Amino acid sequence: MAPRLELVAQDNVRAACALQLEDGQDRFVASVAHSLAETCGQSRITVLWVEHPEGPEQFYLRSGFIPTGQKFHGQIVGERFV
């Protein structure tokens, strides 16, 4: 069973990064990413995704990420402020 992380702290950052998630865990992923960014002293989270009908774009948009209008290696850049 994978570890359950309600909050990412310095002592469990590696475990958070190693998690393998299943479908339907959108809120969990968003909360872990937010907590990880705060723990690392960051004010925003940046993600990349490829435009594709079955891609992760809707997941990121539901999680509060906004496209920046930039592309990196053909992928859309999205960000969410913590």
Query: Residue 34 belongs to a domain with what CATH number?
Result: 3.40.630.30
SS3 76: strand
Check residue 52 and give its pLDDT. 85
b/e per residue, 2-29, with b = 16+ CB within 10 A? eeebeebeeeeeeebeeeeeeeeeeeee
Q: How many CB atoms lie within 10 A of CB 53?
A: 5
Q: Is residue 5 part of a domain?
A: no
Is 3 inside any structural domain? Answer: no
Provide the domain count of the chain: 1
Domain membership of residue 41 as a residue range: 13-81
Predicted local distance difference test score (pLDDT) of residue 9: 62
Residue 71: predicted pLDDT: 95
Model pLDDT for residues 5-64, shown as the tens digit of each residue: 455 566 666 666 666 666 667 677 778 788 888 888 888 888 889 888 888 888 788 888
Residues 79, 9: Cα–Cα separation, whole Å: 22
Determine, yes or no, domain membership for 2: no
| Tokens encoding 14 | 């590696």
**pLDDT at residue 21, rounded to an integer:** 61
35 is a domain residue: yes
